[in-house]
Chain A
């Protein structure tokens, strides 16, 4: 009898231990309780910045979409889902590395771009990259220097079927989808997606499914967000946190030996008069320039991957990256078929929502230009963000699109058929002249107008009222 009792207790303990350990493996967290995630720390001033970032951590999607048999969800890298978001992203990167490195046991099937419709109708996770990465560059950033499958030129998106663990690389330029199947492709994405689905996320729809002539395939909106609200934020520029001398010290060992000039707008310029200088504006724009860089194309082995390494290391050691930074574009210039210069741009998000600076023309808050393997120019306008007590409700995106059509059609007399909505997404916009500056939730709508009247570009609209705050002119 006692033996039976002992056996029962041992069995119970074993089951309990297996549940706890499995939870740990799945969530990779310390035990605070089963399925209870650790609370995020409160960030103090500039703890948001970090300087030990690996370049692979800057591969982040523009949109991370979960497709579940006809239901679609957009996943944000926010506090509540951040751990799951990171886990899905890590798994997808690991699977990509397996594909890039695979020599045996990997089956490849090339499909047309139409297959995307089928992938979206099934159960898959879709990682839409912010721009089309060069295939070799993407592999290089992930640490694979000589990847297989070099017939793939660009990577616009990566899709993983989370039941099959098949990996799909989407090259829109080539109008192809490369499907990879292998037993070595494994992930915990299905478990992560199940956890997301239990949280009852918003349902989204692709508007190009309804009208492909008026909406691009990037237009992906929530159907019902009646009670959705977002907090208002406030932002401080880096010049409010650091003194000008402290900022200058990141670039020069002893700024006191430099020439400094203060222009009428309050912008401070430090220069050694020969090689390099920095400009620090009152609004927080910091710009470093190196004057003495050879204009000849003598960088024989200089590659885009080198440029990413150099830029990432430079930013790491010169004021660091804000939390949730990612590479938003890479622009390459070649001379005589050799890479001459490369501009690497980085963006960042707050709670998964992108930030639009008060200078709306500077889309990317961090920009590094590499010429012949050296940093020629480095510009940044990074804000330290705080949550305020107030919140704003968010208007439905279809209502926002209606307001926009009204503006273009009724006020600007543009034919509806000439308008194409390229994208629509929520952002935070710096608004006002006070210090700290307010940051309000906005809908950003990217529009292309095919007519003589040029109204193409980005419209920024108050997320609550729908009032147009900025439009192209």
Chain B
């Protein structure tokens, strides 16, 4: 009975907290405006701060190359070996990769550049750290690191943590 009473209070508080947190993550998402660079194999690529923070599961890789160039886009995800890590809390930690972690190849997509001189490939990324390598025939490949923050996953995870083991039967 006591658990139920407190359970309901905890439920209400958790809902309020979760809503507040999800708006925080959305606002945080709104502030993220690091552009994904154009992979220009003709004129070169602009320097960007890495990892690039990104809020979408799907990522468009676009660029410019000479006609006939074969473009290969490979996507890697950093498996830190730590299940609980859903957000990289400190920026400085990004460079200090977990000793147990490893980069896992997710997808490889290819396309050939036509007369338009343009290529575009859509890839999906996973929450956490991702690495995109864009290769063009004999050119030096471009590599960028992207940190995908899935706000929905964060909310889901918090819900799991809060509600896990909590009996909320209405008796």
- Interface positions of A (Cβ within 8 A of B): 4-5, 8-9, 11-12, 68-72, 118, 121-123, 163-164, 200, 203-205, 207, 209-211, 214, 221, 223-224, 398-399, 401-402, 405-406, 409, 416
Contacts and interface: CB of A to CB of B under 8 A. Distances in A.
B38 interface: yes
Given A210-B38, A214-B116, A405-B114, 8 more contacts: A8-B171, A69-B32, A70-B35, A70-B60, A203-B58, A223-B60, A398-B114, A402-B116
B54 interface: yes
A448 to B, nearest CB: 15
A208 to B, nearest CB: 11
B49 interface: no
A257 B55 CA distance: 69
A250 to B, nearest CB: 48
Interface residues on B, range: 20 to 34
Contacts, number: 96
B58 A71 contact: yes
Across the A-B interface, give the 6 residue pairs with the lowest CB-CB distance, nearest first: A402-B114, A405-B115, A8-B170, A224-B122, A163-B30, A223-B120
A69 B29 contact: yes
Nearest to A198: B152
Contacts of B116: 214, 398, 401-402, 405
Interface of B: 1, 4, 8, 26-27, 29-30, 32-36, 38, 40, 54-56, 58-60, 62-64, 114-122, 170-171
A360 to B, nearest CB: 24
Nearest to A225: B122
A57 to B, nearest CB: 31
Nearest to A190: B26
B147 to A, nearest CB: 13
Contact of B118 (A12, A122, A398): A398
Given A5-B170, A12-B170, A210-B38, A398 B120 contact: yes
Contact of A205 (B1, B62, B117): B62
B62 A5 contact: no
Contacts of B118: 207, 210-211, 398, 401
B58 to A, nearest CB: 5
24 contacts: A8-B170, A11-B8, A69-B29, A70-B34, A70-B35, A70-B55, A70-B56, A71-B56, A71-B59, A122-B30, A164-B30, A203-B58, A203-B59, A205-B120, A210-B118, A223-B120, A224-B120, A224-B122, A398-B116, A401-B118, A402-B114, A405-B116, A406-B115, A409-B115
Contacts of B121: 223-224
Contact of B171 (A5, A69, A401): A5
B81 to A, nearest CB: 29
A207 B30 CA distance: 24
Given A69-B55, A211-B117, A398-B114, A203 B27 contact: no
Contacts of B171: 4-5, 8
A401 B26 CA distance: 37
B30 A205 contact: no
Nearest to B115: A405
Contacts of B170: 5, 8-9, 12
Contact of A211 (B27, B64, B122): B64
Contacts of B29: 69, 123
A122 B35 CA distance: 9
Contacts of A205: 60, 62, 120
B115 A398 contact: no
B20 to A, nearest CB: 15
A10 to B, nearest CB: 11
A207 B34 CA distance: 18
A2 to B, nearest CB: 11
A223 B63 contact: no
Nearest to B118: A210
A145 B114 CA distance: 51
A69 B56 contact: yes
Contact of A203 (B8, B60, B119): B60
A402 B115 contact: yes
B115 A416 contact: yes
A69 B54 contact: yes
B33 A210 contact: no
Given A68-B56, A122-B33, A214-B117, A203 B38 contact: no
A305 B122 CA distance: 45
B122 A399 contact: no
A160 to B, nearest CB: 13
Contacts of A123: 29-30
B157 to A, nearest CB: 19
Kindly name the residue among A121, A221, A224, A399 whose own CB sees the greatest number of chain B CB atoms within 10 A. Answer: A224
A118 B33 contact: yes
Contact of B54 (A5, A70, A211): A70
Contacts of B117: 211, 214, 416
A203 B117 CA distance: 20
B149 to A, nearest CB: 10
B53 to A, nearest CB: 9
Contacts of B59: 70-71, 203
A207 B62 CA distance: 9
Contacts of B58: 71, 200, 203
Contact of A398 (B1, B33, B119): B119
Output the residue of A72, A203, A210 with the most chain B CB within 10 A. Answer: A210
